[in-house]
Copies of this chain bind each other. A is one copy, B any other.
Amino acid sequence: MKIKIKTALISVYDKNNLSEILSTLKKHQVKIISSGGTYKKIIDLGFNCKEVSEYTGSPEILDGRVKTLHPKIHAGILNKNKDKIHKKQMIKLGYENIDLIIVNFYPFQDILNSTKAHDKIIENIDIGGPTMVRAAAKNFEYKTVITSAKQYNSLKDELKLNNGKTSKQFRQKMSKDAFLETAYYEAVISNYFNKLSNDKFPSKKIIFGEKINKLRYGENPHQEASVYSQNTFSIKQLSGKKLSYNNYNDMFSAINITKVLPKNLGCVVLKHSNPCGVSINKNRLGSLKSAINCDPISAFGGIISCNFKIDRYIAKELNKIFLEIVIGKGFTNDALKILKKKKNLRLIDTNTLKKSDTNLSVISRSDNLLIQESDDIILDKKNFKVVSKIKPNKNVLNNLIFAFNVCRFVKSNAIVISKNLSTIGIGSGQTSRLDSCDIAINKMRKFKLNDLNDNICAASDAFFPFTDGVEKLAVAGIKAIIQPSGSIRDKEIIKLANKLGLILVFSKTRHFNH
């Protein structure tokens, strides 16, 4: 059923294009009701408008906290136009229909970004606005609700098309958008209160985000996908093709790894959400080369993330191989020029990257959500204990901790072999820890045959359940091993390490990552 718009109530925080929509409403002879700042603006713009308090006959009180919360307003919005009893009641009380509600809210996230003052934040929680929006959205059979200045053009078109009326289809669509606005508004408020009392796992959990990009497709072409962000999206793309779902996934993983590496030294090659080479080196070109050389075959078509500014030397080296994405903490102009020669190559700048607001990790499984704190514990030397007779020197200990830190980001079961603060073999994603050892060892042998006589270290993301894994690594030439403790065979493993002349370091924390 088409409904003629005769009366509109307007109360907007975002006053963009207000004049345009008022002109449209004037053309269709719509009466306007408003209050507060919106009322003043409408008058300033030269349009006729009745103030809410005049309309209801009730004064605006409590610093504007109570103005539209009045039965004349809400009966006007909530009555069913075609219901005879409703009609009778409305006439008896002298209430009139309100056909159109144009209301938008001060975005609550913006308030949170602009102040930490609790009182001010609370004062900005809108009560009247959401109530009118919810009432109109519920009664979409008869009422039209507009919750964003972006919808003005659609409303204009709709009114033009239907000669001052709106269709039910249009009203239902606006109602859907309206409930999305109120639900989102409420989710942000609720999240604020939960954070205030550090309640990470309340009885009901609401996760929310604004759309950053509609993606061409998901992990595979038959899956639709989009990327959302709870906060301002602070990663900048400087050049190249649009990021795909798998690009986003890999990019986030790569940035996560480079974040924990020492500043301005670290480099990661990543593919299929697993690192295939990681290195830290004061010589940044050396860092890049070592990361690639860990597994040059996997690096092909992968992504590289550096936690330093990319200069022309790095850029030239990067351009030698086919990559999907290059991530840098800034780029020199020279470097940009060189890298932009590859039109498709996606260049990502993390210079403006903000600290994450949420430290929760969420995955969905059908209707279920598995939510946990992110594994962002910072490891320092207190996290580790040397348990072998032979003690590591500083270099070996640093190399062990480096390997362990990389291992955290490799899909479980994970084994990482490293040398001189560069990975030389990564074994990932196996159901048996022994198989991960084999894979890491095979990679090491494949690409690093010539220089295996140095002090080679290995890290495991969880404890070895038996001694066989440790033995296998020792036989392959590994001199020092770092692993979480916790197996009932820890003592046997220490004994074996001592027998084989290995350095063995235990970590207090485990780092499964599936």
Residues of chain A whose beta carbon lies under 8 Å from any beta carbon of chain B: 58-59, 61-63, 65-66, 69-71, 73-75, 78-80, 83, 85-86, 89-90, 93, 122, 125, 127, 130-131, 134-135, 138, 141, 172-173, 175-176, 179-184, 186-187, 189-190, 193-194, 196-197, 199-212, 214-215, 217-231, 233, 245-246, 248-249, 252-253, 256, 271-274, 276, 295, 297-298, 301-302, 356-358, 360-375, 377, 411-413, 428-432, 434-435, 438-439, 442-443, 465, 509-514
How far is A85 from B59 in the complex, measured between Cα atoms in Å?
14
CA distance A366 to B442 in the complex (A): 34
For A432, list chain B residues within 8 Å (CB).
Answer: 276, 295, 297-298
Inter-chain CA distance A62–B175, complex, in Å, is 20
Q: Are A199 and B219 in contact (CB under 8 A)?
A: no
CB distance from A8 to the nearest CB of B (A): 19
- A-B pairs with beta carbons under 8 Å apart, 30 shown: A59-B93, A62-B78, A66-B74, A176-B197, A179-B186, A180-B202, A182-B190, A183-B189, A183-B206, A184-B204, A202-B211, A204-B211, A205-B210, A209-B367, A217-B372, A220-B510, A222-B509, A223-B372, A224-B373, A226-B371, A228-B368, A230-B369, A252-B368, A272-B429, A297-B434, A361-B364, A363-B364, A428-B430, A435-B439, A438-B442
Residues on B with beta carbons closer than 8 Å to the beta carbon of A190: 176, 179-180, 182-184
Complex formed: what's the CA distance from A432 to B208 in Å? 35
Verify A373–B223 contact, CB threshold 8 A.
Answer: yes
Which of chain B's residues have a CB closer than 8 A to the CB of A256?
Answer: 365-366
Q: Do residues B66 and A71 form an inter-chain contact, with CB atoms below 8 A? A: yes
4 further A-B pairs in the complex, CB-CB below 8 A; given A183-B186, A252-B368, A274-B430: A61-B93, A187-B187, A221-B509, A225-B370
B272 touches A430 (CB 8 A): yes
8 Å CB contact of A134 from B125, B221, B302: B125
Query: Please, which residues of chain B bring their CB within 8 A of the CB of A59?
Result: 89, 93
- Inter-subunit contact B373/A218 (CB<8 Å): yes
Measured CA separation A360–B438 after assembly (Å): 36
For A295, the chain B residues whose CB sits under 8 A away are 431-432
Cβ–Cβ contact B209 & A204, under 8 A? yes
Establish whether residues A220 and B509, one from each chain, have CB atoms under 8 Å apart when the complex forms: yes
Q: A220-B509, A510-B220 are in contact. Are A127 and B131 (CB under 8 A)?
A: yes
Closest-by-CB residue of B relative to A173 is B197
- Do residues A369 and B61 form an inter-chain contact, with CB atoms below 8 A? no
B65 touches A369 (CB 8 A): no
Question: Top 8 nearest A-B pairs by Cβ distance?
Answer: A429-B429, A218-B372, A252-B365, A225-B372, A298-B431, A183-B190, A356-B366, A183-B186
Are B514 and A249 in touch, CB under 8 angstroms? yes
Report the bound CA distance from A73 to B90 in whole Å. Answer: 21
Residues of B near A434 (CB, < 8 A) are 297
